[in-house]
Structure 1
């Protein structure tokens, strides 16, 4: 049993999923999916991805509920035996560590480009990492409370900004619907997967829920809210900038917000406001993945001292974040993470669930 058992309500679990999901993807999703799809049907790809991820997420929490109060790093040992559990656990820890590094690097690149010009990347990365360690060292309760403050602010400001861009919106940019059939839609599924990474946090958080029976509900709502925000973003960006106009832009969502101004308001240019809330959002993803990696090491090697582990991970996150030399290298790292997440969190939980059923491991649903 974990010492922190019973801290999370269902709503807090939803908040964690949404905060994790809405990371760097929102800034790049319109470009990566538009490039893959090549037609205005990107929004259909986003909806299908959301449905697929919901199905995968429900399989995942079904697996977790067979082992009440245990994280994936603890119950994998019961299903597969020690050696395989160590290999899989280590792979997941590496994944969470690299995601933390990727998100902090994207945050540094965007901040350096738009807000803190000529500031060295390493300086931005270090500042965010130290703020992150200060928060996560307070434990899950502190993380959730901060997330509960960040999420409503993010959603309100984001929706207002995107809807204000309707002066540039042209419905013709979203037509024709399925002009080239369904094949382009399917091509858009893979690039959207990285943007949906975040549901895997429930492999750990289900163990800390007051009512694990509601983990299905938490997963479904978390993915639904994220999908809705992604959908609004993609429709507004493509409707305003067109598919061809997006493909050449590095950060199309920011370009959309930069392309209009409203006279007479306190803010006439909105990209700084959007950047501020998205820096908070990417910070959330970095923090929760750093925390998950630390929990993984603690549970896999059965130690108690999680704070030492958190500090020990800092150099690894920093060095990984500094590896990409260009923005393209950063995106290549993101693609690699998307491919890894398919294996680790789409295929693996189903395999583990089947093995646990066959070998009769784990109790009934919590």
Structure 2
């Protein structure tokens, strides 16, 4: 391992996966999946997608364990040769950079719409980017400490708020189950699979684990927690707002939390509280993707100082974040990223694993 920082535990790896995965997607997941499925069986698509991604994730960490203490940017050249490794490595670096830009733009759009009205998008983006660079310049151990604070707060408050909407919940909105057969569930797999982007962080993080043998466990737990959160969200949003009521809403999860109030509590309206924790969550995704892109450039081009790389990436990520002219273009960018993630992190690791076995590259499974 070429990073002077300490190794991370299995639990910390789970925290990173969940923090990365629960980004902007959860705010739009009920709408995108409902449009694709067209029936109340959205929740089945979530479960099936979670199982598929778990299988993909296990293949990914199996590949990483063949090359202990090396990131994907380092061991790919052993499998494919230098030039192909450069092409694949640059594609992954570009992916992480654009994900960082996408997350920061979504955060700016949501913040501008609900919290900081008439504040220019560029101002919100720049503030969060400078806070992000301050965090990641401390290295992986500092990022982890922040993540370990953010995640429990997010999970407790988010699940509590979603479950408080049970006064609006009607089980009839989730019926009939499989009324139109299995085909709508299959149609819903693509948008739900795209919401699971985040497991690919293990291509970098496995190199820093204390016990790489536990990477399967970390991947499984990380995906299980994310699937549970997605499932609770979709069931409550569809059950409360109905299938037809979701399709026309840009941020249905936020709309659900805005649609009820509890008399007598400290907070009667909950959307501001949800936005605060979700801004932290999207910020987490931005921070780890910016960090992974910096690690990629360092490892691929064998640079010595990563601090400079982080600062060089700032203007590139900023310009990318400002390219979408409106929310629709931002969503289109998100769809493109989802498709790219399927190619880069679902198909490619399997191909690399097969080639490494055929060419007998890498050690036995750690």
If the length of structure 2 is used for normalisation, what is the TM-score? 0.99
Q: Which residue is 2:340 aligned to?
A: 340
Work out the CA distance in 2 between the residues paired with 1:155 and 1:13.
17
1:204 aligns to 2:204 (yes or no): yes
Work out the CA distance in 2 between the residues paired with 1:32 and 1:314.
30
- 1:34 touches 1:42 (CA, 8 Å); kept in 2? yes
How far apart are residue 304 of structure 1 and its match?
Answer: 1.3
Structure 1 segment 103-118 matched on structure 2, within 5 A: 103-118=103-118
1:68 aligns to 2:68 (yes or no): yes
Work out the CA distance in 1 between the residues paired with 2:6 and 2:194.
30
Work out the CA distance in 2 between the residues paired with 1:207 and 1:4.
12
Question: What is the DSSP-based 3-state SS (H/G/I as helix, E as strand, rest coil) of the residue aligned with 2:195?
Answer: helix
Write out per-residue CA displacement over residues 234-280 of structure 1, whole angstroms, 9 at most, x where no aligned residue: 00000000111000000000000000001111111100000000000
Q: Which residue is 2:129 aligned to?
A: 129
Work out the CA distance in 2 between the residues paired with 1:331 and 1:147.
26
Work out the CA distance in 2 between the residues paired with 1:3 and 1:159.
36
RMSD: 0.7
Work out the CA distance in 1 between the residues paired with 2:108 and 2:140.
25
Work out the CA distance in 2 between the residues paired with 1:288 and 1:194.
18
- 1:6 touches 1:211 (CA, 8 Å); kept in 2? no
How far apart are residue 178 of structure 1 and its match?
Answer: 0.4
Q: Which residue is 1:251 aligned to?
A: 251
Work out the CA distance in 2 between the residues paired with 1:56 and 1:222.
13
How far apart are residue 355 of structure 1 and its match?
Answer: 0.1
Q: Which residue is 1:170 aligned to?
A: 170
Q: Which residue is 1:217 aligned to?
A: 217
The alpha-carbon distance between structure 1 residues 264 and 73, as it changes in their structure 2 partners (threshold 3 A), is same
Work out the CA distance in 1 between the residues paired with 2:11 and 2:176.
39
How far apart are residue 6 of structure 1 and its match?
Answer: 5.1
Work out the CA distance in 1 between the residues paired with 2:203 and 2:304.
20
Work out the CA distance in 2 between the residues paired with 1:352 and 1:230.
30
Q: Which residue is 2:314 aligned to?
A: 314
Work out the CA distance in 1 between the residues paired with 2:71 and 2:136.
18
1:59 aligns to 2:54 (yes or no): no
Work out the CA distance in 2 between the residues paired with 1:123 and 1:193.
32
5+ unaligned residues in a row in structure 1: which ranges?
none
How far apart are residue 344 of structure 1 and its match?
Answer: 0.1
Work out the CA distance in 2 between the residues paired with 1:180 and 1:3.
53
How far apart are residue 200 of structure 1 and its match?
Answer: 0.1
How far apart are residue 5 of structure 1 and its match?
Answer: 6.5
The alpha-carbon distance between structure 1 residues 142 and 148, as it changes in their structure 2 partners (threshold 3 A), is same
Work out the CA distance in 2 between the residues paired with 1:325 and 1:242.
30
Work out the CA distance in 1 between the residues paired with 2:271 and 2:332.
25
How far apart are residue 2 of structure 1 and its match?
Answer: 2.0
Work out the CA distance in 2 between the residues paired with 1:193 and 1:304.
36
- 1:31 touches 1:249 (CA, 8 Å); kept in 2? yes
Q: Which residue is 1:262 aligned to?
A: 262
- 1:31 touches 1:247 (CA, 8 Å); kept in 2? yes
- 2:5 touches 2:139 (CA, 8 Å); kept in 1? no
Work out the CA distance in 2 between the residues paired with 1:145 and 1:194.
28
Work out the CA distance in 2 between the residues paired with 1:155 and 1:3.
31
Work out the CA distance in 2 between the residues paired with 1:20 and 1:194.
13
The alpha-carbon distance between structure 1 residues 4 and 216, as it changes in their structure 2 partners (threshold 3 A), is farther
How far apart are residue 365 of structure 1 and its match?
Answer: 1.5
Question: What is the DSSP-based 3-state SS (H/G/I as helix, E as strand, rest coil) of the residue aligned with 2:349?
Answer: helix
Q: Which residue is 2:93 aligned to?
A: 93
The alpha-carbon distance between structure 1 residues 5 and 59, as it changes in their structure 2 partners (threshold 3 A), is farther
Write out per-residue CA displacement over residues 130-184 of structure 1, whole angstroms, 9 at most, x where no aligned residue: 0000000000000000000000000000111011000000000000000111111
Work out the CA distance in 2 between the residues paired with 1:350 and 1:304.
31
- 2:5 touches 2:141 (CA, 8 Å); kept in 1? no
Structure 1 segment 218-233 matched on structure 2, within 5 A: 218-233=218-233
The alpha-carbon distance between structure 1 residues 74 and 336, as it changes in their structure 2 partners (threshold 3 A), is same
Question: What is the DSSP-based 3-state SS (H/G/I as helix, E as strand, rest coil) of the residue aligned with 2:181?
Answer: coil
Work out the CA distance in 2 between the residues paired with 1:290 and 1:194.
20
Q: Which residue is 2:102 aligned to?
A: 102
- 1:5 touches 1:209 (CA, 8 Å); kept in 2? no
Structure 1 segment 347-362 matched on structure 2, within 5 A: 347-362=347-362
